[in-house]
A and B are shown apart, each in its own frame.
Chain A
């Protein structure tokens, strides 16, 4: 059983379109992070959300943490080819093994020019 379910698994869109990626769980997380990974590289942290209902913006990227801290979403406005990559959500589970991050399987985004 995957603790963090990401959807969709693959997404291919045209430049200028908007998109949303989801990260869902039945467990509560004390914090949740979003990473972007480009081909041949390691993941790079984009944002950390901590408070239920929290919204953070990073240029054209908007991150939201669910009120119950069980889910999160990443919305990209006017996607650009440079947004192409694997987006991973990861969290520290409340009351669980808080020495490690639990990762979702990722959403592979392709933005076509």
Chain B
């Protein structure tokens, strides 16, 4: 059981380049999330998807787009990378149904993608 798989694990981009971070989960969860983790900033929510076909902005969506391709996959796209987007990106899938989180919901995180934008 792989859980949440993120690809690639590492990536170096030049300013202005584009790329897509891939995330897939095999736990049949409805909700999926994209976070970024920066030193001294903690985890910040970029976008989330409560179900297949729906996506919504989180705290820091500027410069990103997402696609919930199907129930398993949730991708994050940087159209024109900037040095401020250098970060570690985590995808998570969440147990339960619906948009609202409760104490019963468990978030399962992938191992992350380490992105450097030069």
Chain A residues with a Cβ under 8 A of chain B: 2, 30-31, 40-45, 48, 50, 88, 90, 92, 98-101, 103-106
Contact = CB atoms under 8 A, between A and B. Distances in A.
Interface in B19-69: 33, 40-45, 48, 50, 56, 58-59
A50 B103 contact: yes
Contact of B101 (A88, A100, A105): A100
A40 B9 CA distance: 9
A23 to B, nearest CB: 11
A106 to B, nearest CB: 6
A2 B107 CA distance: 21
11 contacts: A31-B102, A41-B111, A42-B90, A42-B110, A48-B106, A92-B102, A99-B56, A100-B101, A103-B44, A104-B42, A106-B42
B76 interface: no
A50 B110 CA distance: 25
Given A40-B111, A42-B109, A43-B90, 4 more contacts: A41-B112, A48-B106, A92-B101, A100-B33
B54 to A, nearest CB: 11
B58 A100 contact: yes
Interface of B: 4, 33, 40-45, 48, 50, 56, 58-59, 90, 92, 99-103, 106-107, 109-112
Q: Is the interface of A mostly helix, strand, loop or mixed?
A: loop
